[in-house]
Amino acid sequence: MPITSLQISTADGQADAFAAFPDDGECHPGVLMYPDGFGIRPVLRELALELAGHGYYVLVPNFFYRHGPAPVIELPEYIGEEARPAVFGQLMPLIEAHSTERVLADADAYISFLTARPEVEAGPVAVTGYCFGGLLALRTAADHPDQVAALAAFHAPVATVGPGLFAELTAQVHFGHAEGDITPEELDELNKTLDSAGADYTSEIYPGTTHGFTMSDTDAFSASGLKHHWDRLLPLLSRTLPASRP
C-alpha cells in the first residue's frame, strides 16, 4: 500500500500532504482526512493506510502549512500528560490563527485536488476528521454539499458550532463523541439541533473514552474506541461512496 507525498496549490501557497491508496492500478473513492490538532505524524499514516486498505484513496493535508511543512513543531513519540502543556503552548496559536476564511479557502483547494486525482473514482467524496480536524471536516462538508456524500468527525467539538452550519449539510453524517467531552444532556441537545436542521445523521457517545481516543500515540488512546470508530466509519463510506472495493 503506497504512501505518496504531495503538494497542493492553495490561495496562500503550497500545502504539503500525503495520500495512501491501494496499489492496484484501479480508481477508488476519495476520502479527505483531516488530522487532529497535533497534525501529521506516524499515527495519521497508520490510520490512512488502514482506511486505504478498505479500498479508498485517502488524502491527508497539513492544514498548518502556512507555518511550515509537517511536523510544524517537534512532537514527542508519545504525547502523555507531562508533554501536553508544552505541545499545546506551541500549537494553540496556530489553531487560533486558522480562521473560517482560511478553512474554507483550503477546503476548496483540497476538494479540487482530490477530485482531480487520476486514482480517484468519479463521483462524490467523503470527509473525516479528528478533534480540531473534525471541525474542519464539518465546515468542508457544509461548504461543498454537491461534492461531499459522507462526513465523519471523532472527538470533535461539533456541539460548539451554530445550527446554521448543520442546515447546510447534505452528506450522511456520523459524530463519534468522547465520553469525557460531552454529557448525555448535551448530546441530546446537539441531536435535537441536528433533527431540526434535517440532517441525516448518527451521533453517539463512545463509552469509556476521553478526548483523543483514536490516537494511539497519546495517553487518551482507547483500543475499543478506535474499533468503534472503524465500525461506524466503514459502513458509512460503503453506503455513500461509489463502489470499487478490494
121 DSSP 8-state letter: P
What does the pLDDT read at residue 243? Answer: 61
Q: CA Rg, the chain, in Å?
A: 17
Going by C-beta distance under 8 Å and a sequence separation of 6 or more, which residues neighbour residue 176? 152, 153, 154, 155, 204, 206, 228, 229, 232
Averaged over successive runs of 10 residues, the pLDDT of the chain (246 residues) comes to: 94 97 94 97 98 97 97 93 92 93 97 97 97 98 97 96 92 97 96 96 97 97 98 97 62
pTM score of the predicted model: 0.96
How far, in Å, CA of 180 to CA of 77, rounded?
Answer: 24
What does the pLDDT read at residue 125? Answer: 98
Helix or strand (DSSP H, E) at 32: strand 30-34
Query: pLDDT by residue (tens digit) across 184-213?
Result: 999 999 999 999 999 999 999 999 999 999
Other CB atoms within a 10 A radius of the CB of residue 188 amount to 12
Going by C-beta distance under 8 Å and a sequence separation of 6 or more, which residues neighbour residue 147? 111, 115, 124, 125
